[in-house]
Every structure is written in structure tokens, then in C-alpha cells.
Amino acid sequence: MIRRMILAALLAALAAVDAQAQGKKRVEITGSAGWTFSEGVTGPGVAVGKFGTYTRIDPLNSSSLGGRVGFLLGGHSEIGVLFSQESTDLDITGVSSLKIADVKVRNYHGYLAYTFLSPETFARPYLLLGFGSTRYAPSAVPVAGVTRNVGGSSRLSSTGAIGLKLFPEGRTFGFRLEGRWTPTRIKANASGFWCDAYWGCYSGSKAQYSNQYEWTGGIMLRF
């Protein structure tokens, strides 16, 4: 559902771009690669056979690949969609660290970006904010000598980035350098009860997020 909403918004933006393009280059396509620092969440202790009790699960730091399509809405604003995938190990931690599966962490986000300085400037910094989903897709897991399939899970997530676009004058290609943070809400832990004079008493909770910190470089094509 989220991906359909993002696609519908992008199609509307593309129609607007087509109406005002008038021969100007309005679309940027980027392919990128980099490194992602990842962290997971903690939970109640879970006993895993003879291995002991484990209280934390994390995707490990790993390389990542990505791509995006952006539609330029003038000299500074941009709307688009991005995808990235980190292929890594899924580890549990307690008395020791234990790999339980390979996992692919995939991000799907629609975004808005603002690029500073004049469009003719060679190096232009930008800010990006997006919203979408993160999907965790683990491989089959061997349990007591039997391989068992583990279902994937999707969670709502946001993303924010700072970066630099490098475009040689008159060229249709350029380079992108970017640092991006993607927090994904995994669960909420009860944190007690709160009371006030107007709304009465209610239970409070503290959300736990799995964070990804991604550093990438990429090649852009503009047309």
C-alpha cells in the first residue's frame, strides 16, 4: 500500500514536470554503492538451546547498493523515490554472539529534497527527507538440523540525508556523495502509567528503532 501511494505521488509529479519542462533536463537517475552501519533492538531474554540466553538482535554492518529517480521541480526542489539494499548477517547477542541467518534489509522511500546554490554551480549541497518502509528478508534458518523458513517483515520508516551533487558544466552525468540515516520503528516497550487531570490514566510506551547509517557515492544521469 505504501509503495502504491509513493508511486501515485511520483506519477503526479512527473506529469507536472512534463508540463513545464520546455526542453530543460528535469529527471535525475542515480546508481550508488557504499557502506551501512546498522543497529538492531533489545528485548526480553530468550533461551536458545545449549547456547545460552540472548537479549539483542542486530543486522551487522555491511556494504549496500541503491538507486533513485528524482524529478526536478525547478532549480532547487526535487521529488523522487529511492531504493537501497544491505545484504548482511542477522546476529543475536547475549552471553556470546551467534549468527542466525543472512538477511537483506531493503528500504523503499518517497522523498523531497532541496538543493542549494545556483544550478550552474559545480558542487551543490542538498538536504533530503523521506517516508516509506523498510523490509527485513532473512534467509532460511537451520534449527536442530532442520532448515526452517523465516517470514520477512516490513515496518514504517523515515529517512533523512545530507549530500553533495557534483555536475561538470554542460554534462549530462555527475556524481553524488551522501550520508543518510534511516530509523525504522520495530516495537514499543511499556514504560509505566501516566495520569493527568483531564485525560485520566493511561499506559506509556517507549519506541525502539533499528537504525541504519549509510555512506554512499554514486553516478547521476540527467535528462
Task: Determine the pLDDT at residue 153.
Answer: 86
Boundaries of domain holding 182: 2-40+53-222
Per the domain annotation, does 46 fall within a domain? no
Q: Which long-range contacts (CB under 8 A, 24 or more apart) does 115-123 make?
A: 115/76, 115/77, 115/78, 115/165, 116/76, 118/75, 119/75, 119/76, 120/169, 122/166, 122/167, 122/168, 122/169, 123/164, 123/165, 123/166
Q: Is a pLDDT exceeding 80 seen at residue 129?
A: yes
Average predicted confidence (pLDDT) for the chain: 82
Query: Range with the lowest mean pLDDT among 11-25, 151-165, 166-180?
Result: 11-25
Kindly report the pTM of this predicted structure.
Answer: 0.79
Per the domain annotation, does 95 fall within a domain? yes
Task: Determine the pLDDT at residue 131.
Answer: 97
Per the domain annotation, does 23 fall within a domain? yes
Q: Is a pLDDT exceeding 90 seen at residue 105?
A: yes
Instruction: Calculate the alpha carbon distances from 42 to 45, 90, 131, 197, 206 in Å.
Output: 9, 14, 24, 34, 12
Task: Determine the pLDDT at residue 150.
Answer: 64
Task: Determine the pLDDT at residue 147.
Answer: 64
Based on the number of CB atoms within 10 Å of its own CB, is 190 exposed (0-12), middle (13-18) or buried (19 or more)?
exposed
Per the domain annotation, does 160 fall within a domain? yes
Per the domain annotation, does 48 fall within a domain? no
* CATH number of the domain residue 27 falls in: 2.40.160.20
Task: Determine the pLDDT at residue 200.
Answer: 47
More confident residue, 80 or 201: 80
Q: What's the structural domain count of the chain?
A: 1
Task: Determine the pLDDT at residue 154.
Answer: 92
Confidence of residue 203 (pLDDT cuts 50, 70, 90): very low
Work out the average pLDDT over 80-93: 93
Per the domain annotation, does 143 fall within a domain? yes
Distance between CA atoms of residues 210 and 207, nearest Å: 10
